[in-house]
Structure 1
Amino acid sequence: MKTKLTLSMEQTLYYYCREAGAFAVEEVTMPDDQGIVDTLSYQELPSGDIEWRCYELKVTKSDFHSKAKLSFVGHYNYFVLPLDLYQEVADEIPAGIGVLIYRPFAEELLATATETPVAPGYLTVMRPPRHQDLQVPASQLTTRFIASQAREVGKAKQTATGLKQYSTDRLYQELKKRHQHYDIYDPEANFYEQFIEDTQSTAVTALQTEVDALNLELHTLQDQLKERS
């Protein structure tokens, strides 16, 4: 489960890559036991060459020291870190690996912003990366990049479809799983009461709309009868 900070950094990095003219996708599995790249970006340069960048996101010191393989297989490779973590581990970062520092936007600045930012924070380059040859074949990077994008499109389609993709029986079973959280002393906290209230409200609104339409039609007919008489 990703922490709120990780999700904020991930979202900020996505738009950071997009602003640079690159395409980015998260959690790309590498071939040959090369691990999983947290974020992989692809960019076609004016020369026609393709540039790959790999980003590893770390939010705590224990996370930084995790035994999970660091998939620095791109032309340029980065750690993306909060400032306080960078200050703790700066001496442990290998030569050639770049560092992007994540900073959240201050709430007081957000309150005065004329436009809502697309990301919760911003990134600054603390250490530039050094170019290296790809550590895996470019064709495999492309294939896995496309596969990961297809996975994200699938997730988006499921979200857009919403509950329509589930059968009534499946929804009923999911509701039953939540019965242990039922609180008779706090009805407003119960999903079932919220569902019934919303359903009744929708039904009342629909009926009222129908009644209003019938009243309008009746009024129109009465006017027409008066004119004829």
Structure 2
Amino acid sequence: MKTPLTLDLEKTLYAYWEAQGATAVEEVTMPNDLGIVDTLVRQNDGDSHLWRCFELKVTKADFHSHAKLSFVGQYNYFVFPASLYPQLKAEIPANIGVFTYRAFAPDALAASLVPVPAPGALTIAKPARRQALQVPEAALNDRFIASLDREVRKAKRVAQGLAPFSDDALLKELRRRSDHYDVYDPQSNLYDQFADQLQNDTIAALQAEVDALAAELAHYKLEAHS
């Protein structure tokens, strides 16, 4: 699971490269057991592309984990919260760059008169040195496109909501959730929320029908007395 801070770094990195006219995608699996790039950015460079790899780290423990660092691009970077970078500065390899993240103040975001595309800002604290691609560009392109396709499919599933699911699948999920039914807190139970909403909708529909019949009856009574 990604922490809220990791998600904020991710959103800000997306916005940063979108402003640069580049395309970013997260969690791109590399061939030949080279790991997974947290965020891979493809940037136009004349008739070719520049590839940048980013590893997002929000704690010292995260930085010191045994997870593979997939620095396979021409430019490779860590992304840290600004407060974390001084603690790790001496451990950054010479060829790896660093972006630091600072969150915008909540009151400043609330006061903004225009939509803010990211929750904070990035600063290049250490530039990266260029290296040769560690993966053939054709393979990078294939995996980049596959990851973009994955994100599009995820977005489409969200947009479709529950429409693709059968009644049986929905009932099965409702029964599964009933295993944790809380009799002392009905509002926390999905079934009770659904039943309440259904009852409210039914009452509203019946009331509309009663109102229509009452109006029709009143009309006939007026005609009968005229």
Query: TM-score if structure 2 supplies the norm length?
Result: 0.89
Q: Deviations over 1:78-107 (max 9, x none)?
A: 101112221211110101211111111111
Partner of 1:9: 9
Q: Residues 201, 136 of structure 1: CA spacing in aligned structure 2 closer, same or farther, 3 A cutoff? A: same
Partner of 1:81: 80
Partner of 1:118: 117
* Matching of residue 65 in structure 1 with residue 61 in structure 2: no
Q: How far is the alpha carbon of 1:7 from its aligned partner?
A: 1.2
Q: Higher mean Cα deviation, 94-103 or 163-172?
A: 163-172
Q: Residues 91, 202 of structure 1: CA spacing in aligned structure 2 closer, same or farther, 3 A cutoff? A: same
Q: How far is the alpha carbon of 1:210 from its aligned partner?
A: 5.4
Supply the AA of the counterpart residue of 2:50. Answer: E
Mapping of residues 160-179 of structure 1, within 5 Å: 160-179=159-178
Q: Secondary structure at the match of 1:146?
A: helix
Q: Residues 188, 126 of structure 1: CA spacing in aligned structure 2 closer, same or farther, 3 A cutoff? A: same
Write the distance in 1 (CA, Å) between the matches of 2:31 and 2:198.
Answer: 49
Partner of 1:29: 29
Q: Higher mean Cα deviation, 51-60 or 194-203?
A: 194-203
Q: Residues 209, 72 of structure 1: CA spacing in aligned structure 2 closer, same or farther, 3 A cutoff? A: farther
Q: How far is the alpha carbon of 1:211 from its aligned partner?
A: 5.8
Q: Residues 122, 215 of structure 1: CA spacing in aligned structure 2 closer, same or farther, 3 A cutoff? A: farther
Write the distance in 2 (CA, Å) between the matches of 1:121 and 1:212.
Answer: 53
Write the distance in 2 (CA, Å) between the matches of 1:209 and 1:20.
Answer: 54
Write the distance in 1 (CA, Å) between the matches of 2:164 and 2:77.
Answer: 39
Gaps of 5+ in 2: none
Q: How far is the alpha carbon of 1:153 from its aligned partner?
A: 0.9
Gaps of 5+ in 1: none
Q: Secondary structure at the match of 1:100?
A: strand
Q: How far is the alpha carbon of 1:60 from its aligned partner?
A: 1.1
Q: How far is the alpha carbon of 1:115 from its aligned partner?
A: 2.3
Q: Secondary structure at the match of 2:14?
A: helix
Partner of 1:152: 151
Q: Secondary structure at the match of 1:130?
A: coil
Q: Deviations over 1:166-188 (max 9, x none)?
A: 22222122122222432222222
Write the distance in 2 (CA, Å) between the matches of 1:124 and 1:204.
Answer: 56
Q: Secondary structure at the match of 1:178?
A: helix
Write the distance in 1 (CA, Å) between the matches of 2:214 and 2:126.
Answer: 71
* Matching of residue 38 in structure 1 with residue 50 in structure 2: no
Write the distance in 1 (CA, Å) between the matches of 2:161 and 2:72.
Answer: 37
Aligned residues: 225
Partner of 2:47: 48
Write the distance in 1 (CA, Å) between the matches of 2:108 and 2:82.
Answer: 19
Partner of 2:185: 186
Write the distance in 2 (CA, Å) between the matches of 1:68 and 1:211.
Answer: 65
Q: Secondary structure at the match of 1:7?
A: helix
Q: How far is the alpha carbon of 1:113 from its aligned partner?
A: 1.4
Partner of 1:107: 106
Write the distance in 2 (CA, Å) between the matches of 1:51 and 1:213.
Answer: 67
Q: How far is the alpha carbon of 1:138 from its aligned partner?
A: 0.6
